[in-house]
Amino acid sequence: MQRLYDFLRRHPTWVDGFWAVLLFGISVVSEAVRHEGGQDATGTDSEAAIIPVLLLLCLVIALRRRMPEKMLLLAIGVGMAQLALNVATTPANFAFLVITYTVAATGARWASRLTLAVSLIAAPLAQMRWPETESTALSNVALVVFLTVPFILAWVLGDSIRTRRAYYEQLEERATRLEREREAQAKVAVAAERARIARELHDVVAHNVSVMVVQADGAAYVLDAAPDQTKKALETISSTGRQALAEMRRLLGVLRTGEHQESGEYVPQPDVEQIDELIEQCRTSGLPVDFKVEGTPRPLPSGVELTAYRIVQEALTNTRKHGGPNAGASVRLVYFDDGLGLLVEDDGKGAPHQLCEEGGADGQGHGLIGMRERVGMVGGTLDAGPRPGGGFRISVLLPLKPAL
């Protein structure tokens, strides 16, 4: 039964065609009974006029959902032909009521207004064309009202169906649009998180691996001449490797929901206070760094603290990689009333200004790109480029907000 119902819903014209055939049969039988009974009804008895009218009205029923506007115009034309040819109303005239509902529910707006106007004048025209001679004027008026009401009700019902469908379509469209927006926001969030993780991994790997490489080279150079220094370099490599592994576990844990928290391997993000440890690590690896703090230290937003730490880390990493063997660096951390300033300079070989404009001088340029993205995320500004007297300089200003 359900399959039959689904089939009929997919082929509504077949259903309308069935009702059209049934209505045609009822109309033919009604006309035959009227003629055989010798009833003196108003209108013509010519089959040449009646049969085409019946066929066209039944065609209106059969095609009402496929082409409602055209069937409305056909019904109006048939109605005018009935008036002109004196073909009185038959059961097939029920098609006028059906097409009124259909056009009001699914037709164009102009067709809906037209069918409402026709519905208001159809009954008066029919009464004027075929009046009840034995009835009083009041009875004729009452009959006109009685015949008009069904058409008005059919139009009101169809228009309410149209309004309800439009409302549901609007709700579905809004739900679809919200779903698309949620998907887009989710994709943006995923892309932003992946970019953040990529920056974090770059900073961790670039800094710690560069320290390990420098220490390994130094240990190999003094392996036979200074065993104590070799041992100290190996210890630095070991501690640096462990620190890199800890931070990479924290970052990779973000890719596995809840894993880093459940396993107890969560490592807090670096902050400004850990810059001292970072600089001491650089000094241990052989890079002279002068570090000064100006102003009064105070609590900072976590995003600003992480950004400041990563900027210093990346700048010192670039100094080790590109500054040359005798390069030195200086780091200034300045607390302003409304911002945090960072100035990292070195006296190494520096880099061409063109590379800075393209994104950085560390291989593919991801270092300075990452810096600019980090600074931009907290609303700060970054200026990076070669120093006039040689070397490289990175100047950053990060806006501060009261820490809650």
**Does 320 reside within a domain?**
yes
**Does 210 reside within a domain?**
no
Strands lying side by side in the sheet with 289-294: 289-294, 329-335, 339-346, 392-399, 381-386
33-62 pLDDT, tens digit each: 877 755 545 566 566 778 899 999 999 999
pLDDT value for 361: 42
- Compute the residue count for the chain: 404
Instruction: Inform me whether the pLDDT recorded for 260 exceeds 80.
Output: no
Residue bearing tokens 């034309």: 77
Radius of gyration of the chain (CA): 44
**pLDDT (average), residues 348-359:** 56
pLDDT value for 266: 46
Q: How many CB atoms lie within 10 A of CB 302?
A: 12
**pLDDT (average), residues 203-219:** 68
1-16 pLDDT, tens digit each: 677 767 777 778 888 8
Question: Rounded CA gap, 275 and 224, in Å?
Answer: 34
Question: Rounded CA gap, 85 and 48, in Å?
Answer: 11
**pLDDT (average), residues 350-357:** 53
Strands (E), 218-288: none
Q: Please say which residue of 131, 164, 188 terminates a domain.
A: 131
Q: Which two tokens stand for residue 201?
A: 């991994």
Q: Is 361 helix (H, G, I), strand (E, B) or coil?
A: coil
Provide the b/e sequence for 325-356 (b: ≥16 CB within 10 Å). eebebbbebebeeebbbbbbbbbbbbbeeebb
Using CA of residue 85, residue 90, residue 95, residue 97, what is the dihedral sign?
positive
**Does 151 reside within a domain?**
no
pLDDT value for 403: 42
**Does 246 reside within a domain?**
no
Is residue 323 left, alpha or beta, with left meaning phi > 0 and alpha meaning psi from -120 to 50?
A: alpha
Report which of 334, 336, 342, 277 is spatially closest to residue 315, judged by C-alpha positions.
342
pLDDT value for 162: 92
Question: Rounded CA gap, 182 and 58, in Å?
Answer: 50
Instruction: Inform me whether the pLDDT recorded for 323 exceeds 90.
Output: no
- CATH number at 363 reads 3.30.565.10
Q: Please say which residue of 72, 103, 131 terminates a domain.
A: 131
67-70 long-range Cβ contacts below 8 angstroms, 24+ apart: 68/99, 68/102, 68/103, 68/106, 68/107, 68/111, 69/103, 69/107, 69/108, 69/111
**Does 22 reside within a domain?**
yes
Give the chain's domain count: 2
**pLDDT (average), residues 130-145:** 80
- What's the start-to-end Cα distance of the chain, in Å? 66
346, β-bridge pairs: 329, 392
**Does 324 reside within a domain?**
yes
Q: Which two tokens stand for residue 221?
A: 């150079």
Q: How many CB atoms lie within 10 A of CB 219?
A: 20
**Does 56 reside within a domain?**
yes
| Band (206; pLDDT cuts 50, 70, 90) | low
**Does 158 reside within a domain?**
no
Q: Where in the sequence is the domain holding 80, given as residue range(s)?
A: 2-131
Q: Please say which residue of 69, 102, 131 terminates a domain.
A: 131
